[in-house]
Amino acid sequence: MRLFTVTAFYSFRALFRWLSPMPYLCFRALFPLAQLGFFALIGTYGGGQPLSFYLVGNAIGTATLTAFGVSQAVADERQQGTLSYLLAAPAPRVPIFFGRAALHVADGMINMIAALAIAVMVFGLRVPVDGIVGVVVAMLVATIAICGVGLLLGAVAYIVLDTAVLANFAMFIILLLSGANVPLAELPGVVAAIAQGIPLTRSVAAARLYVGGASFDAGIGLLLGDLALGAFQLARNTSPT
Amino acid sequence: MTAALRLARQSAWVNFQEVAVNGFLLFAVVWQPLFVGVTTMYMLRHRADFDPMYVVVGTALSGIWSTLLFAGSGAISHERWTGTLELLAASPASFFVVIGGKLAGTTIFSLGSLVLAFGIGTVLFGYPVKIAEPGWLAVSLLLAVVALWATGMFFAPLAILWRTVGRFLLVLEYPVFALSGFLFPVLLLPNWIVPITNLLPPYWAAVAMHGAASGDLDLSGLLRAWFFLLLTGGVLLVIASRLFVEVLTRARRAGTLALS
């Protein structure tokens, strides 16, 4: 537990070099908000779906940024020359690597709450009071699922050196295929089937249900699906190689 | 003059070879525009007046902009990290010309986004992509590329003189996509933002290229866009030339040409 906590704290702190808060504000707040505004305005111009479709989709979609932090926390070990020590250490790897994802879950939640607040205050999104708990749970599930992707990318970074490119790939594929911006029904059959394997697909759908006024039970199945997918990716990451 | 051009050409060629195998810039030129283009094509095709060329041009501009933003803001710091800034500062060759050539190579590389954007429209979606004024589009592209290169030159010293600004520059990708009207009209933005967009070279690049591709702008409208494209780009280039001098002066004074 101590190893988990220490790892979580220091890896998160080191990632953004907390001597100055500007990098954090830029990468984890401004970027997702700019992304939300950009796609929401394209959606408005396209007129294919109501504005709330794009606002909810992209508010949940800001979770994809979490994958950068998680994968980078792992990849930075290599860049700083500490990866070999980490792997050779007798400390168990699960708390070490899960610890690196832990604070990113909280951070991803903050990102999404900020994005949702902008969606409500700037774009006039209406979230029914009954749906707030559901939306928050959808956000939590989305962040956990994306952390699974981040750790998977971190593991792939043992082989592929450029983690930033990997995380960018993951982000755009998820934004395209999760239904955040394009309804799954409009995608070609094979691509729509692949989309079902994307973490976030169900969280986005569940959040839309809750914003639309559905009961909490209505989205539970969807959220459990994304949670299972995230857990599967976490398990793949921690399996012996 | 001839020597400067030869230097710029050599710098451009060396940098072109370097960026052509750089994973991150390849992503910015190829994969990111692919995702942006495909997503936007799906999002805009419901419009009654949908013109695939609008998405093609906007996607190409997004790729060019992203590439120059990342390459520009790291152009000088990359030299410092690779240990060549000292050599460049001590060399009799103009530092401004060397970095200018370097970014010119990146700019040429970024044009791959344009080819890719046409591919998205024609091959992936099967739209017949029609250019209303091919000649005017070519002129607009040329001037747009020059102005965006100038913007990259402005970012290069800025990112190294003020590190906080340098970090902020990296998140200017989406805001500039939005403020410049690459993929939706800036009239969708709040009224108070619209005058700010007029100060940005990417905005005039989008006006000129969208206008020439769709035929919505007549020659006088295009001439106006070209004028402001060159004016905004020119102003940034003049400021950049002053900042380049300041970079070397400060680095020499503080002894920070090298990292160690």
pLDDT single digits (tens) A88-145: 888 777 777 777 667 777 777 888 888 888 889 888 888 898 888 999 899 888 888 8
- Tokens in use for A142? 């989305």
| Residue of chain A whose Cα is closest to the Cα of B27 | A165
CA dist A239 and A195 (Å) reads 25
Give the contacts of A233 (CB within 8 A, at least 6 positions apart).
A145, A148, A149, A151, A152, A199
CA angle A82, B28, B196 (to 5 degrees): 115
Q: Which two tokens stand for residue A21?
A: 């808060």
**Contact between B126 and B180 (Cβ < 8 Å):** no
* Other beta carbons less than 10 A from residue B84's beta carbon: 15
Which pLDDT score, from 0 to 100, does residue B37 have?
Answer: 93
Among B117, B18, B29, which Cα is nearest to B69's?
B29
Q: Do residues B166 and B76 lie in contact, with contact meaning Cβ atoms separated by under 8 Å?
A: no
Mean pLDDT of chain A: 80
- Find the range with the poorest average confidence among A116-120, B219-223, B251-255: B251-255
Residue B11 above 80 pLDDT?
yes
Subunit contact B44:A168, Cβ cutoff 8 A: no
Burial of B18 (0-12, 13-18, 19+ CB in 10 A): middle
A74 closest CA partner among A108, A91, A98, A90: A98
Please judge whether A165 and B189 are an interchain contact, meaning their C-beta atoms are less than 8 angstroms apart.
no
B187-218 confidence digits (pLDDT tens): 888 888 888 999 999 999 999 999 999 988 89
Reading the block at residue A222, the tokens are 């969807």
What residues in chain A have their Cβ under 8 A from chain B's Cβ atoms? 20, 22-23, 26-27, 30-31, 34-35, 37-39, 41-48, 162, 164-165, 168-169, 172-173, 175-176, 181-182, 186-187
**pLDDT exceeds cutoff 60 at B147:** yes
Alpha carbons A101 and A9: distance in angstroms, whole number = 10
Angle value at C-alpha A122, between A116 and A126, nearest 5 degrees? 55
Q: How far apart are CA B81 and CA A175, in angstroms?
A: 33
What per-residue confidence (pLDDT) applies to A241?
46
Helix then strand count (H, E) for chain A reads 12, 0
Report d(CA B246, CA B44) in Å as an integer: 45
| The token pair that represents A187 in the structure block | 């995608």
**Mind telling me how many Å the CA of B10 is from chain A's nearest CA?**
28
- Structure token digits, residue B113: 């986004």
pLDDT for position A53? 93
Over residues B71-81, the mean pLDDT reads 83
How far apart CA B83 and CA B200 sit, in angstroms, is 33
* pLDDT at residue A154 tops 90: no
Q: Is the pLDDT of residue A19 over 60?
A: no
Q: Smallest CA–CA separation between B69 and chain A, in Å?
A: 14
Q: What does the domain layout of chain A look like in residue ranges?
A: 29-75+104-238
CA distance A225 to B137: 49
The CB density around residue B168, as the number of other CB atoms within 10 Å, is: 18
The larger pLDDT score, comparing residue A241 to residue B13, is at B13
Backbone angles phi, psi at B185, to 5 degrees: -65, 140
**Res B203: pLDDT:** 95
Within 10 A of A173 (CB to CB), how many other CB atoms are there? 17
pLDDT of residue A239: 55
Tokens 């060397």 sit on residue? B98
Token code pair at residue A106: 């909280």
Return the closest-CA partner of residue B47 out of A138, A47, A132, A69.
Answer: A47
Residue from A44, A234, A62, A27 nearest A145 by CA: A234
At position A1, the amino acid (one-letter code) is M
Chain B positions in Cβ-Cβ contact with residue A122 (cut-off 8 Å): none
**Residues ≥6 apart with Cβ < 8 Å to A125:** A51, A52, A55, A56, A116, A119, A211
Q: DSSP label at B126?
A: -
Q: Which residue has the tokens 């394209």?
A: A42
Q: How much is the pLDDT for A104?
A: 74
R_g over Cα of chain A? 18
Spatial distance between the Cα atoms of A68 and B9, rounded to a whole number of angstroms: 36
Residue B145's pLDDT is: 95
Please state, for a pLDDT cut of 70, what percent of chain B lies above it: 97
Q: What was the pLDDT predicted at A20?
A: 62
Q: What SS3 class is residue B121? A: helix
Mean pLDDT of A53-66: 86
Residue B204, CA distances (Å) to B70, B87, B161, B188 in order: 20, 37, 27, 17
List CB contacts (< 8 A) between A162 and chain B: 23-24
Beta-carbon separation of A44 and B47 below 8 A: no
Q: Where are the beta strands (DSSP E) in chain A?
A: none
CB B47 within 8 Å of CB A46: yes
Cβ contact (<8 Å) for B188 and A46?
Answer: no
**pLDDT tens by residue, B26-42:** 888 999 899 999 999 99
CA distance A221 to chain B (A): 27
Torsion of CA B24, B27, B29, B35, to 10 degrees: -150
| Residue B80 confidence class, pLDDT cut points 50, 70, 90 | confident
Cβ of B40 within 8 Å of Cβ of A44? The answer is no
Q: Are A191 and A208 a contacting pair, CB within 8 Å? A: no
Span A198-210, mean pLDDT? 89
- For residue B151, pLDDT beyond 90: yes
